[in-house]
Amino acid sequence: MKQKRVVFLMSDTGGGHRAAADAIRAAMEQRYPGQYTYQLIDVYRRYTPFPFNFMPEIYPRWVNHMPTSWGLGLWFIDSRSRNRLAMAVINQMWKQGIRRMVEEHPADVLVSVHSLFNRPAMRALEATLLERPPFVTVITDLVSTPAFWYERRVERCLVPTQAAYDRGRLFGMEPHQMRITGLPVHPHFVEGLLPKDQARDKLGWDPHKPAVLVVGGGDGMGPLFSIATALNRKRLDIQLVIIAGRNRLLKRRLEAQSWNQPTTIHPFVTNMPELMAAADILVTKAGPATICEACIAGLPIVLSGAIPGQEDGNVTYVVDSGAGVYAPGPDRVADTVAAWLAEGPAALAERSARARALGRPNAAWEIAEEIHVQAQRAPIRTRLGKRSKGADPTLRPTPEDNWVI
- From 46-60, 108-122, 124-138, 277-291, the region with the lowest mean pLDDT: 46-60
The pLDDT value given to residue 402? 41
C-alpha to C-alpha distance for 159 and 208, rounded to whole angstroms = 39
The pLDDT value given to residue 396? 45
> Is residue 219's pLDDT more than 70?
no
Mean pLDDT across the chain: 91
Task: Please give the backbone phi and psi of residue 226, each rounded to the nearest 5 degrees, phi first.
Answer: -65, -35
> Is residue 218's pLDDT more than 70?
no
Position with higher pLDDT, 216 vs 154: 154
The pLDDT value given to residue 246? 85
Mean pLDDT of 359-386: 94
* Edge-to-edge strand list for the sheet holding 301-303: 263-266, 239-243, 211-215, 281-284, 301-303, 324-326
Is the Cβ–Cβ distance between 279 and 197 less than 8 Å?
no
C-alpha to C-alpha distance for 370 and 165, rounded to whole angstroms = 16
Angle, in degrees to the nearest 10, between helices 345-358 and 312-321: 120
The pLDDT value given to residue 383? 84
Position with higher pLDDT, 397 vs 209: 209
Mean pLDDT of 117-135: 95
CB neighbour class for 35 (10 Å; exposed up to 12, middle 13-18, buried from 19): middle
Mean pLDDT of 64-86: 82
Closest CA to 371 of 114, 41, 28, 102: 28
| DSSP letters spanning 120-150 | HHHHHHHHH-SEE--EEEE--SSS---GGG-
pLDDT-derived band at 337, boundaries 50, 70, 90: very high
pLDDT-derived band at 64, boundaries 50, 70, 90: confident
Counts for the chain of helices (H) and strands (E), in that order: 18, 14
Preceding amide of 223 cis, omega within 30: no
Closest CA to 300 of 345, 350, 227: 350
Mean pLDDT of 366-385: 94
> Is residue 390's pLDDT more than 80?
no
H or E element: which one contains 307? none
Is the Cβ–Cβ distance between 263 and 227 less than 8 Å?
no
- From 20-29, 64-73, 262-271, 339-348, the region with the lowest mean pLDDT: 64-73
What percentage of the chain exceeds 90 in pLDDT?
A: 78
Q: 4-185+361-387 and 191-358 share one CATH topology?
A: yes
C-alpha to C-alpha distance for 310 and 302, rounded to whole angstroms = 18
C-alpha to C-alpha distance for 117 and 101, rounded to whole angstroms = 11
The pLDDT value given to residue 393? 47
The pLDDT value given to residue 221? 54
Domain boundaries, the chain: 4-185+361-387, 191-358
Instruction: With H, G, I as helix, E, B as strand and everything else as coil, classify residue 281.
Output: strand
Spelled out in words, what is the top-level CATH class assigned to the domain 191-358?
alpha beta
Q: Name the DSSP class of 393.
A: -
C-alpha radius of gyration, the chain, whole number: 22
The pLDDT value given to residue 78? 79
> Is residue 391's pLDDT more than 60?
no
- For 89-101, the pLDDT digits (tens) are 888 999 999 999 9
Mean pLDDT of 115-124: 94
Mean pLDDT of 138-153: 94
pLDDT-derived band at 389, boundaries 50, 70, 90: low
What percentage of the chain exceeds 70 in pLDDT?
A: 94
Position with higher pLDDT, 396 vs 291: 291
Spelled out in words, what is the top-level CATH class assigned to the domain 4-185+361-387?
alpha beta
> Is residue 399's pLDDT more than 60?
no
Mean pLDDT of 259-266: 96
pLDDT-derived band at 277, boundaries 50, 70, 90: very high
pLDDT-derived band at 404, boundaries 50, 70, 90: very low
Closest CA to 113 of 84, 136, 144, 97: 136
